[in-house]
Amino acid sequence: MPPLAYYKCVKCKRTHDSFMDAVKCENSHLAAVSVRELEYRSGAYPFRISLMFPDGKECGYITDDGIYMGDEVDYARDKDKKHG
C-alpha cells in the first residue's frame, strides 16, 4: 500500500494535495496589525477587542464564553448595546 502524502496549512490546519496549494493557503491568511481593547470586565483580560488587518478591515470580537461576533465593529463601540 503506497503512503498517502498531503500538506497542511499551519494556520488553519486544512489539508491540501500539493505543497504549493498549502503555501497559497498559508499566505492567504491575514495577521492583525493592531489590537484595540474596547471593554474590560473583572479580570486582567479584555472582554471585547477590535483587530485591524493589513487590508484595512477592522473586525470586532467578544471573548466571553468564546463567542465570536464577526465583522461588525460598530457594536463594540456601543457599550450600552446588549449582546448575547
Residues whose CB is less than 8 angstroms from the CB of residue 77 and which lie 6 or more positions away in sequence, other chains included = 38
- Tell me the pLDDT tens digit for each residue of 14-65: 999 999 999 999 999 999 999 999 888 877 888 888 999 999 999 998 875 5
Does pTM top 0.95 for this prediction?
Answer: no
Residue 25 shares a structural domain with residue 42: no
Q: Is residue 83 part of a domain?
A: no
Range of the domain at 44: 34-77
pLDDT at position 35 is 92
**82 pLDDT higher than 60:** no
pLDDT at position 70 is 54
End-to-end CA gap in the chain: 52
Domain count, the chain: 2
Retrieve residue 71's grid coordinates: 465583522
